């Protein structure tokens, strides 16, 4: 599917008033507020942020054995939210995935405060995953407009992606008393010509992850069509420090705007959503070739179109189905994708959600051996929950209203500011 530069920008900027994306002032949000009493045993929690410029709150919802959610608590993150500079203003204020990230290995959840240039980390009570306690105090992110976080396998290191005028990455050790402690030689620049808040979505940073073996730190950067974006790859040393410079990896021909990244397990590869096309596959066996010539290693990278897509930007993996689930803010559609042993990606099925609901961040949780997909439908101030019993068999389970319970609890919710989705399940 060939797209003109004009059509790409239209797909990015005219998607339900949003983007693969300045709001009015709201009343201050402080402290921790109960949104509803516990309804019984919960098996985990889902988290997202209000990202309000007057005060950022981390919202925690119980996950029941059925996979359904109940909003429980709103916790002050000790910082402010922010909305990137866009015209028109709409959902996806950070142009990012991973603004909130949880770790069952470390029993922690971390969040960005993009309006304060800080990060906060909370301890999770595994027996009540909505019972959170901030560890230490919020710390500087190492740059401006922090937008995305990643946590290593051990759950003891958090790295942040900054997308503002001072952009790049920075990493922190998790101290159970002090909170986030900067790791030496990890503040690294992307060298983007950006503003604070960031201007986008084109030309902005998007997502940060560790490689499957934690030996590399990877950040995605969207291009400005017709110039494609890239992945920035740093090597991680034994002491946690990063290589001085990053390796820039471009998508295959046709790829334009790499956004979220999800590891393809056991393949040393990444599936990246592409807001200008559909999705890209990056074969890191070729990227890391010592010869420096990817063609000599049988590069299986590819750029893959999703026909009719508008802005496919967020992704997660379902271990029970073996498939990836991508969300499109413009069409409000969830697309299920299979990647085979040879890194060939194919569309399994698509699941339309409510038109105009602004489906952005998503995550998958496994509860009692069953997978469930949680999608933040920001424009509708709700969360779509899908049961994933088998490949191609996703079904709608719940549409959880956020606005009503928030209003009852005196919490400010603006659909244009909501961001993030991560889940925690007790090990």
Q: What is the pLDDT along the chain (427 residues), one digit of tens a residue?
A: 333 332 333 333 333 344 564 223 333 444 678 887 765 688 999 999 999 999 999 999 999 999 999 999 999 999 999 999 999 999 999 999 999 999 999 999 999 999 999 999 999 999 999 999 999 999 999 999 999 999 999 999 999 999 999 999 999 999 999 999 999 999 999 999 999 999 999 999 999 999 999 999 999 999 998 999 999 999 999 999 999 999 999 999 999 999 999 999 999 999 999 999 999 999 999 887 644 433 334 699 999 999 999 999 999 999 999 999 999 999 999 999 999 999 999 999 999 999 999 999 999 999 999 999 999 999 999 999 999 999 999 999 999 999 999 999 999 999 999 999 999 999 8
Number of Cα atoms under 13 Å in the Cβ half of residue 34? 4
pLDDT of residue 132: 97
Instruction: Output the pLDDT for position 41.
Output: 80
Cβ density class 302-333: b for 16+ within 10 Å, e for less: bbbbbeebbbbbbbbbbeebebbbbbbbbbbb
CB 303 within 8 A of CB 274: yes
- 223-241 pLDDT, tens digit each: 998 999 999 999 999 999 9
> Which single residue is written with the structure tokens 């045993």?
41
**pLDDT at residue 317, as a whole number:** 98
DSSP string, 268-309: TEEEEEETTTEEEEEEHHHHT-TTS-GGGGT---EEEE-TT-
SS3 186: coil
* 65-81 burial: b if 16+ Cβ within 10 Å, else e: eebbbbbbbbbbbbbbb
Strand order of the β-sheet with 333-339 is: 312-318, 323-328, 333-339, 345-352
pTM as predicted: 0.93
Residue 378 DSSP symbol: G
Please give the pLDDT value at position 16.
35
Domains and CATH numbers, the chain: 5-35+42-288+300-425 (2.130.10.10)
């Amino acid at each position: 599917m060939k797209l003109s530069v004009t059509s790409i920008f239209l797909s990015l900027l005219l998607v339900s008033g949003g983007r693969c994306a300045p709001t009015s002032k709201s009343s201050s949000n402080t402290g921790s507020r109960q949104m509803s009493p516990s309804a019984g045993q919960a098996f985990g929690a889902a988290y997202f942020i209000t990202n309000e410029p007057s005060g950022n709150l981390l919202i925690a919802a119980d996950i029941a054995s059925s996979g359904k959610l109940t909003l429980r608590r709103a916790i002050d993150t000790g910082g402010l939210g922010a909305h990137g500079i866009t015209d028109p203003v709409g959902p996806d204020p950070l142009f990012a995935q991973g603004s909130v990230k949880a770790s069952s290995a470390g029993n922690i959840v971390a969040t960005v405060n993009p309006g304060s240039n800080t990060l906060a980390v909370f301890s999770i009570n595994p027996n009540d995953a909505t019972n959170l306690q901030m560890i230490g105090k919020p710390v500087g992110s190492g740059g401006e407009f922090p937008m995305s976080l990643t946590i290593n396998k051990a759950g003891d290191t958090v790295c942040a992606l900054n997308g503002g005028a001072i952009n790049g990455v920075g990493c922190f050790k998790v101290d159970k008393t002090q909170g986030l402690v900067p790791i030496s030689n990890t503040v690294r620049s992307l060298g983007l010509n950006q503003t604070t808040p960031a201007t986008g979505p084109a030309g902005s940073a998007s997502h940060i992850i560790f490689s499957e073996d934690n030996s590399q730190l990877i950040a995605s950067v969207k291009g400005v069509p017709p110039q494609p974006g890239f992945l920035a790859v740093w090597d991680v040393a034994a002491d946690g420090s990063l290589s001085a410079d990053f390796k820039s990896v471009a998508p295959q021909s046709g790829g334009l705007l790499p956004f979220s990244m999800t590891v393809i397990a056991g393949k040393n590869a990444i599936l990246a959503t592409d807001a200008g096309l559909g999705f890209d596959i990056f074969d890191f066996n070729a990227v890391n070739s010592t010869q420096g010539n990817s063609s000599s290693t049988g590069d299986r990278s590819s750029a893959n179109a999703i026909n009719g897509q508008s802005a496919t930007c967020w992704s997660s993996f379902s271990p029970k189905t073996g498939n990836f689930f991508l969300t499109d803010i413009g069409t409000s559609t969830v697309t299920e994708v299979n990647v085979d042993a040879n890194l060939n990606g194919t569309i399994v099925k698509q699941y339309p959600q409510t038109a105009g609901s602004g489906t952005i961040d998503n995550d998958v949780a496994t509860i009692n051996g069953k997978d469930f997909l949680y999608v933040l439908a920001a424009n509708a101030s709700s969360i779509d929950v899908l049961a994933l019993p088998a490949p191609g068999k996703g079904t709608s389970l719940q549409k959880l209203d956020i606005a009503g319970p928030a209003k009852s609890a005196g919490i400010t919710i603006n659909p244009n500011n909501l961001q993030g989705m991560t889940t925690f399940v007790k090990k």
